[in-house]
Each structure stands twice: as structure tokens, then as C-alpha cells.
């Protein structure tokens, strides 16, 4: 299955696997450190941030950036390449590392950072595998497709933030209901507010991505294929859009808050990942 | 302060605490600010060569003295406390404990680290020890030894809190309740607190919640006058308990503590109000026994319910976790005590060694002078050779015991060895004067 394609070399693929492994190792070290020092008085002093885990995150991000720069140089470009899923996975890893750093910097959201690591590892590996197995040239010279891909990438980061804050919310809710204090997490209201803001940013991007995608499909029906509008990819995108929509209107749909909102933001992100996978293999 | 004698115990303490004496006795023995200063002055007047400090808190009264042969004995210290507070020595003796030397040093370090406190790991005692030391320093009743000892005690306590988890987790019900509220709400500036009934714990919780600046505190009580009385200490509005349904719509945090035998808040009552509340989260602390809030309330969407048992369980869990840290804390204290006693022994052994060499050389010089007087035929070279030989012999004989004394001997052995050397070699006089000019406290003492 693994072989050099015209666009992805074997060395690049192995390097991507190593980068993904870095994030997985960072996650492992962070969990181990948290288990070693499970107690902390508040979310700001969240344990688990050892030098080892930080070093692995930095290693993963630097390696991802190096592969992208190398590919840009190889293709004779002087900008970051964004030609296929392989590059998209690497770029997402760098963007999510930025989000990880921001979580750490804000301190109050530091406890959420750990959730990002396995997510980053999975995204980079899926991107790499899709790039090799189901290679698809994004043709970003087309401005509509460039907008489509750009919206998806930045939107994915926003929804990833929504997903991890949703996970954090459910964990904090569970701890409160179980009457345990195992892990210091931000307050429920802070997690909920962050979740809403993340989706508020991601939703317009998802909408733009959907509109530009539809526009391109209508313009090039031969590429999109017959009955493209009934494809699983399109249906799942619409479902994901519908899942996120009520989260933006708390006043109109007050019951979609708290744990329900958290579940929906996780479900929405899972649907988006499914859409990416379908788009890659389809 | 004068130097303590090299002979016998140096550090002594007599005290009582919450484990050895009931509250009534502790109250009688407690020192007020003025009493404390007066007592320190009196001890210094009675025993001018002693260093003295008094630690007096609601849970303990302890008199610390660094004393030589002319300083107070443990019995005299007990008598002093009894006399100062006008209680009988016999009565006091049944409630006191006493420590000397290493045991006293370790006891002080444990007290400062809150290992001896009623609430394990609390940090107030550290400030109290610091205050006791500062008061004694201002009264000039401490010298080199107690400066070093108390500074090391404070450093040890800080180290215990830094290196162990002795102080992690809250143990009072009020602080636990407030911490739980903060796990739900980021801040209370736009939140409403509803208080139903106001028992002792409710008031404690409310005082802490009030410090977080909630938008509004609503007090619903069956007795209006009671509500007004409480309202004087915390700014709040009085609400009508008959409109509890409506109050539950407005409230974000609810504290209940009525004497009602029936639940005041039912699950049905809250469930009906969820929509009107727009499913905002609500945190309910039920401090009443029997409970004011039906248990089923806690399973409603975005409603979090804690009762007094839940708070007590969390407190107990935190206490257990702190208890698990005792061994690690004692290890830290042991390290600090060892370092302090090494410094203290080295401080004493320096002059002792000097005196030992001086005594032996004086004897050898006298013997040499007698020998030379009896043998005038010795040439100057022979006389010098004899003098050098005698000095070498003295040096070689003393090398082993002195090396052992000044080497890395365990501190408790060093104290005994020092005493043995003093006795065996008759080193009763100390050349070079008092403690203050002997050895300065090492840098670590000044932390």
C-alpha cells in the first residue's frame, strides 16, 4: 500500500508518521505526569505539563512544519503547499499546536490542552494516509476551492476547540455529579462560553465551505459525479451543519446548553471527520 | 544573648495543645499579645542567659527556651507557666508535654509545618509561628540559636508545603462548598445567591460567597427578624419564602439550612422551573439535616446538588490525602532537623576542638619544659626536635577523635560525643566567649 506517489515520497510519509507519533507520545507523557501528580488546587495549576510532553509537542509541530517547507521547496513554491490531504493534515497539526499553546498560555483552559494531543495525532495520521491512499489534488489555483479548503481548515480548528471544550464540559459535569475532584478543570460556565465562541467562529466557515463546495459541484458536475447531492459526504455535511446550528441560538433553544451542547459539539466534530474521510476515500 | 553552656541539654520546651488539654485549660493558659511580651521579659529577667519564645494559638501554648546549666529546667518552665497563669503545677503537669534538644527541634518543625495541627496541612500555624518568633525578636529575647532555629523551622515548613501535598485540598465545609460553586460558575458578579434558612454553616458559606461579589443575595427565612439580623453582616435582600417557585427561577446558587422535617425544594418544583430558568446551571448546597432538597433534584439537567454528607465526604477524602503525606513530610522535617543540628554541633565543636588542642599542648609544653630543665646538655637542635616530636604526638593522638567529632557524624551522636569529650578531657571553660561570636548561622538559616 505504501509507495512513492508523484506527490508524496516515502521519506515524507515516514516523517509524517513520526510527527504523528510525537503528538501521541506527548499525550502519553502528559497522562503519565497527571497520574503521578493527580492533585491540583485549581484549573490554572493543572498538572501534567512536564518538559517531556512539551518537548514532544514541539517536536511534532517542528517536524510537521519542516515537511511542509521541504515540500514547498520541492514543488518550487515559496509558500506553504496545500495540494492534498497530506499537506492539510500537516497544516492542521501546526494550527492545533498553536491552539494547544494558546490553551497553555491562558492557564484557565490549560486542562483542555491534553485533549488536543490525540486529536492532532489522529488528524495528521489520517491526512497522511488519505494523501497516500486516496490522493486528490485540491487545485487551489481555483479561488473557490482555495476558499473552500481554507474555510475547512480553519473551521476544523474552531470545531476541534469546540469538541475539546465539550469533552471538558462533560468531564467536569461528571465529576460534579459523581462528587469527585479528580482533575482540575475550568468552571462549567467558562467551558460552555468557550464552546459557544468556538462554534460561533467555526459555523460561518463551515457555511462558506459548504456553499463554495456546492458552487464548485454545480460548476463542474462531471467532477462531482451524478447525484452528488445525495452523496454521504453532502448529507453528513448538512447534518453536521444542522447539529451546530442550534448551539448558536441559546436564547431560542435554551435546552441545547450545558451537557447537551457539549454532546452536540462532539457529535458535530465527529461528523466532520467522517465527511473528510468520505471525501478522501470517495 | 549569652552563649548556652556546652554541657547538658540546650533546647527545651514545655507546652500543651488540643490533644493534651481541653479547651477550658487552653483558654486559661493562652497568652494575649501583652501577656506574651510580659512573659518573655519575665523569663529573660529570671534566666538572663536563656533565649525564649512563646507560641500561643487557640490550639496550643508552648514555651521554648534555649538554656545552659543556669537556665530553667523543664520543671521550672512548667512552674513558670503555672505561676504566670495562676494555675496549680499539678493540674498543669497532667496536660503538658516536654521535649529537649533534637526532639524539641523536630517538634517545632512539625508544629510549623502543621503536622501537629488539629487540621492537618493548614497554613495558619506557619504565620503564627512566624509571629511568635517576630515577637520574641522584637522583645530581644532570642539570640543566635533561636534566630537560626526559628528561621530553619519556617524554611522547613515552607519546604514541606512545597515538596509534599500536605496542604492540598480543602478540609472545611464552607471552603469546599465555595470551591464547588466556583467549579460551576466562573465568577459570581452576575449571579444570584438564594439563602433559605441560615444556620451556622450557611452563614460561614455565605460570608465566603459574599466575598466573591455576587450580584444579589436573596434571603428567604421563616423568621423575618432572623433574616434582618443576618442581613446586617452581608448586604442582601429579604425574600418571601412563599414565593420560592419564583425565587428558584432567579437563583443561580441556593444555600438551604432550615429546620424543616419535610423537603423544602422538591424535584417537581425545580423541574417545572427549568424552562423558565432557560436551563441555566444551578448549584444547590443543602446543609440541613434532615435534608431540605429532594435527592432527585440532583439528577435534573444542569442542576447540581450537594448535601452536608457530600461536603463532609469531600473533606474526609482531602483529610485522608493529607494524611497520606505525613511520612513524606516527616522525611523533609528530618532533613531540616539534621542540617540544623549539624550546624549547631559544628558551632559548638569548633571552640571545643580548639580548647582540646590548647590543653594538650599546654601539658606537653609543661612536660617538655621540665625535661629540658633536667637536661641542660641538650643542644638547641635537639631541643627543637623534641618539641616538634611532642607536638606531632599530640596531633596524632587527637587526630582520630577530632576527625570523628567534626566529620559527618549523625547529629544526635555528635551531641553525645561533644558532651563525652567535655567530660573526658575536662573542657569546662570555653575560650573565646559567647555564642554570638562563635559561628554565624549558615546562609540557609536566613531563608
Work out the percent of chain A whose per-residue pLDDT is above 70: 87
pLDDT for residue A143: 80
**CATH 3.30.460.30 matches B11-169+321-337:** yes
Q: What is the mean pLDDT of chain A?
A: 83
Q: Which residues, at least 6 apart from B320, have a Cβ–Cβ distance to it below 8 Å?
A: none
Q: Which residues, at least 6 apart from A178, have a Cβ–Cβ distance to it below 8 Å?
A: none
Neighbouring CB atoms inside 10 A of A122's CB total 15
* Beta-carbon separation of B186 and A177 below 8 A: no
Whether the CB-CB separation of B147 and B181 falls below 8 Å is answered with no
Task: Say which of B183, B313, B314 has its CB closest to residue A172.
Answer: B183
Q: Does B314 touch chain A (CB under 8 A)?
A: yes
Q: Residue B194 forms beta bridges with which residues?
A: B218, B254
Which chain B positions have a beta carbon within 8 Å of A257's beta carbon? 278-280, 302
Which chain A positions have a beta carbon within 8 Å of B275's beta carbon? 254-255
Residue of A nearest to B183 (CA): A187
Architecture of the B173-313 domain: 3-Layer(aba) Sandwich (3.40)
CB under 8 Å, gap of 24 or more: what pairs does B243-251 form? B244/B196, B244/B220, B244/B269, B245/B269, B245/B272, B245/B273, B247/B194, B247/B218, B247/B220, B248/B194, B248/B273, B248/B277, B248/B282, B249/B273, B249/B276, B249/B277, B250/B192, B250/B194, B250/B218, B251/B192, B251/B193, B251/B194, B251/B218, B251/B282
* Beta-carbon separation of A179 and B314 below 8 A: yes
pLDDT for residue B399: 86
pLDDT for residue A187: 92
Which of helix, strand or coil describes residue A4? coil
Task: Say which of A39, A190, A254 has its CB closest to residue B279.
Answer: A254
* Beta-carbon separation of B183 and A190 below 8 A: no
Which chain A positions have a beta carbon within 8 Å of B168's beta carbon? 39-41
CA distance B402 to B412: 16
Task: Say which of A39, A250, A260 has its CB closest to residue B165.
Answer: A39
Report, as an integer, the average pLDDT of A67-91.
Answer: 78
Task: Say which of A176, A190, A250 has its CB closest to residue B304.
Answer: A176
Residue A38 has pLDDT above 60, yes or no: no
Q: Which residues, at least 6 apart from B344, have a Cβ–Cβ distance to it below 8 Å?
A: B10, B145, B148, B411
* Beta-carbon separation of B186 and A186 below 8 A: yes
Among A46, A165, A173, A179, most B C-beta atoms within 10 A, so best to mutate, is A179
Strand ranges across the sheet with B192-196:
B237-239, B216-220, B192-196, B253-256, B282-286, B303-307
CA distance B56 to B37: 11
Which chain A positions have a beta carbon within 8 Å of B180's beta carbon? 176
pLDDT for residue A45: 53
Phi, psi of B23 (to 5 degrees): -55, -40
Q: Greater confidence, B414 or A106?
A: A106
Which of helix, strand or coil describes residue B259? coil
Q: Which three cell numbers stand for residue A91?
A: 497544516
CA distance A198 to B381: 97
List pLDDT tens digits, range A13-29: 899 999 999 999 999 88
State the residue for C-alpha cell 540544623.
B340
**E strand spans, B169-208:** 192-196
Residues of chain B with pLDDT under 50: 1-6, 232, 430-447
Residue of B nearest to A172 (CA): B183
Which chain B positions have a beta carbon within 8 Å of A255's beta carbon? 275, 279, 301
Q: Is-cis flag, bond preceding B290, omega within 30?
A: yes
Task: Give the rounded distance of the alpha carbon of A85 from its chain centre.
Answer: 13
Q: Does B186 touch chain A (CB under 8 A)?
A: yes
pLDDT for residue B438: 35
Q: How confident is the model at residue A194 (pLDDT cuts 50, 70, 90)?
A: very high
Q: Which three cell numbers stand for residue B1?
A: 544573648
Whether the CB-CB separation of A223 and A230 falls below 8 Å is answered with no
pLDDT for residue A47: 53
Neighbouring CB atoms inside 10 A of A74's CB total 12
Q: Does B408 touch chain A (CB under 8 A)?
A: no
pLDDT for residue A4: 46
Q: Does B249 touch chain A (CB under 8 A)?
A: no
Nearest-neighbour CA in chain A from B182: distance (Å)? 6
* Beta-carbon separation of A255 and B279 below 8 A: yes
pLDDT for residue A170: 95
**E strand spans, B240-354:** 253-256, 282-286, 303-307
pLDDT for residue B435: 37
* Beta-carbon separation of A189 and B281 below 8 A: yes
CATH fold for the domain made of A140-282: 1.20.120
Q: Which three cell numbers stand for residue A29?
A: 507523557
Closest to A187 (Cα-Cα) out of A255, A258, A247:
A258
- Residues of B tagged active-site: 58
Closest to A49 (Cα-Cα) out of A59, A36, A62:
A36
Domain definitions of chain A by residue range: 1-138, 140-282
CA angle, corner A17, sides to A11 and A20, nearest 5?
A: 145
Closest to B217 (Cα-Cα) out of B182, B243, B191, B199:
B191
Q: Does B310 touch chain A (CB under 8 A)?
A: yes
List pLDDT tens digits, range A214-266: 888 888 777 767 777 777 778 888 888 888 888 887 767 777 888 999 999 99
pLDDT for residue A46: 54
Closest to B125 (Cα-Cα) out of B59, B29, B172:
B59
CA distance B17 to B12: 16
DSSP A14-51: HHHHHHHHHHHHHHHHHHHHHHHS---SSGGG-S---H
Residue A207 has pLDDT above 50, yes or no: yes
Q: Does B184 touch chain A (CB under 8 A)?
A: yes
- In total, the C-beta contacts within 8 angstroms joining chain A to chain B are 58
Residue of A nearest to B168 (CA): A41
* Beta-carbon separation of A258 and B183 below 8 A: no
* Beta-carbon separation of B306 and A179 below 8 A: yes
CA distance B425 to B355: 10
The answer, yes or no, to whether ipTM is higher than 0.90 is: no
Nearest-neighbour CA in chain A from B169: distance (Å)? 6
pLDDT for residue B442: 37
* Beta-carbon separation of A257 and B302 below 8 A: yes
Which of helix, strand or coil describes residue B198? coil
**E strand spans, A102-183:** none
How large is the greatest C-alpha to C-alpha distance in chain B, in angstroms? 122
Task: Say which of A179, A187, A255 has its CB closest to residue B186.
Answer: A187
Amino acid at each position: 500500500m505504501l509507495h512513492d506517489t508523484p506527490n508524496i515520497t516515502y521519506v515524507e510519509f515516514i516523517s509524517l508518521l513520526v510527527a504523528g507519533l510525537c503528538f501521541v507520545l506527548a499525550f502519553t507523557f502528559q497522562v503519565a505526569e497527571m497520574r503521578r501528580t493527580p492533585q491540583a488546587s485549581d484549573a490554572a495549576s493543572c498538572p501534567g505539563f512536564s518538559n517531556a510532553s512539551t518537548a514532544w509537542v514541539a517536536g511534532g509541530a517542528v517536524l510537521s512544519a519542516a515537511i511542509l517547507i521541504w515540500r514547498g521547496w520541492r514543488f518550487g513554491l515559496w509558500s506553504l503547499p496545500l495540494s492534498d490531504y497530506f499537506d492539510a493534515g500537516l497544516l492542521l497539526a501546526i494550527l492545533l499546536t498553536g491552539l494547544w499553546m494558546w490553551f497553555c498560555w491562558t492557564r484557565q483552559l490549560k486542562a483542555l490542552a491534553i485533549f488536543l494531543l490525540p486529536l492532532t495525532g489522529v488528524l495528521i495520521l489520517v491526512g497522511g494516509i488519505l494523501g497516500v491512499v486516496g490522493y486528490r489534488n485540491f487545485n487551489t489555483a481555483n479561488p473557490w476551492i482555495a476558499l473552500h479548503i481554507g474555510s475547512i481548515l480553519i473551521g476544523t480548528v474552531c470545531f476541534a476547540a469546540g469538541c475539546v471544550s465539550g469533552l471538558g464540559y462533560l468531564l467536569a459535569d461528571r465529576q460534579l455529579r459523581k462528587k469527585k475532584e479528580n482533575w482540575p478543570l475550568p468552571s462549567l460556565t467558562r467551558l460552555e462560553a468557550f464552546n459557544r465562541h468556538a462554534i460561533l467562529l467555526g459555523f460561518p466557515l463551515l457555511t462558506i465551505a459548504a456553499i463554495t463546495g456546492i458552487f464548485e459541484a454545480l460548476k463542474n458536475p462531471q467532477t462531482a459525479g451524478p447525484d452528488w447531492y445525495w452523496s454521504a459526504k453532502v448529507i453528513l455535511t448538512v447534518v453536521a451543519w444542522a447539529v451546530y446550528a442550534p448551539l448558536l441560538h441559546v436564547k431560542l433553544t435554551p435546552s441545547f446548553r450545558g451537557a447537551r451542547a457539549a454532546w452536540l459539539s462532539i457529535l458535530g466534530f465527529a461528523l466532520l471527520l467522517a465527511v473528510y474521510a468520505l471525501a478522501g476515500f470517495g | 544573648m549569652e552563649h548556652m553552656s556546652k554541657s547538658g541539654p540546650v533546647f527545651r520546651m514545655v507546652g500543651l495543645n488540643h490533644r493534651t488539654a481541653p479547651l477550658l485549660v487552653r483558654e486559661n493558659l493562652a497568652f494575649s499579645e501583652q501577656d506574651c511580651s510580659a512573659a518573655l521579659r519575665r523569663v529573660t529577667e529570671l534566666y538572663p542567659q536563656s533565649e525564649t519564645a512563646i507560641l500561643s494559638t487557640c490550639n496550643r501554648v508552648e514555651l521554648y527556651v534555649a538554656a545552659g546549666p543556669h537556665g530553667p529546667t523543664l520543671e521550672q518552665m512548667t512552674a513558670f507557666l503555672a505561676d504566670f497563669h495562676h494555675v496549680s503545677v499539678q493540674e498543669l503537669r497532667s496536660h503538658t508535654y516536654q521535649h529537649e534538644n533534637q526532639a524539641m527541634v523536630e517538634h517545632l518543625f512539625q508544629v510549623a509545618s502543621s503536622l501537629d495541627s488539629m487540621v492537618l496541612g493548614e497554613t495558619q500555624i506557619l504565620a503564627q509561628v512566624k509571629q511568635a518568633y517576630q515577637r520574641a525578636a522584637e522583645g530581644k529575647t532570642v539570640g543566635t540559636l533561636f534566630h537560626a532555629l526559628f528561621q530553619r523551622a519556617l524554611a522547613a515548613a515552607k519546604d514541606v508545603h512545597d515538596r509534599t501535598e500536605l496542604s492540598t485540598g480543602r478540609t472545611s465545609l464552607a471552603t469546599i462548598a465555595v470551591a464547588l460553586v466556583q467549579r460551576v460558575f466562573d465568577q459570581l458578579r452576575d449571579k444570584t445567591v438564594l439563602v433559605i434558612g441560615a444556620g451556622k454553616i450557611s452563614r460561614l458559606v455565605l460570608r465566603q460567597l459574599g466575598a466573591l461579589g455576587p450580584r444579589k443575595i436573596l434571603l428567604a427565612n421563616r423568621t423575618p427578624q432572623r433574616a434582618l439580623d443576618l442581613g446586617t453582616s452581608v448586604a442582601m435582600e429579604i425574600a418571601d419564602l412563599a414565593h420560592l417557585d419564583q425565587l428558584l427561577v432567579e437563583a443561580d446558587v441556593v444555600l438551604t439550612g432550615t429546620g424543616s422535617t419535610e423537603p423544602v425544594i422538591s424535584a417537581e418544583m425545580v423541574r417545572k422551573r427549568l424552562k423558565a430558568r432557560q436551563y441555566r446551571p444551578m448549584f444547590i448546597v443543602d446543609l440541613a439535616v434532615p435534608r431540605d432538597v429532594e435527592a432527585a433534584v440532583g439528577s435534573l439537567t444542569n442542576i447540581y446538588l450537594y448535601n452536608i454528607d457530600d461536603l463532609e465526604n469531600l473533606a474526609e477524602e482531602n483529610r485522608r490525602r493529607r494524611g497520606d503525606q505525613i511520612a513524606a513530610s516527616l522525611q523533609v522535617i528530618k532533613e531540616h532537623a539534621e542540617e540544623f543540628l549539624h550546624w549547631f554541633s559544628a558551632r559548638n565543636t569548633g571552640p571545643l576542638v580548639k580548647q582540646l588542642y590548647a590543653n594538650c599542648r599546654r601539658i606537653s609544653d609543661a612536660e617538655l619544659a621540665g625535661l629540658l630543665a633536667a637536661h641542660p646538655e641538650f643542644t638547641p637542635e635537639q631541643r627543637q626536635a623534641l618539641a616538634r616530636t611532642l607536638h606531632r604526638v599530640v596531633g596524632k593522638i587527637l587526630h582520630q577523635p577530632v576527625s570523628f567529632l567534626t566529620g559527618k557524624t549523625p547529629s544526635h551522636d555528635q551531641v553525645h560525643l561533644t558532651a563525652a569529650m567535655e567530660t573526658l578531657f575536662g573542657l569546662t571553660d570555653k575560650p573565646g566567649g559567647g555564642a554570638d561570636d562563635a559561628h554565624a548561622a549558615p546562609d540557609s538559616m536566613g531563608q
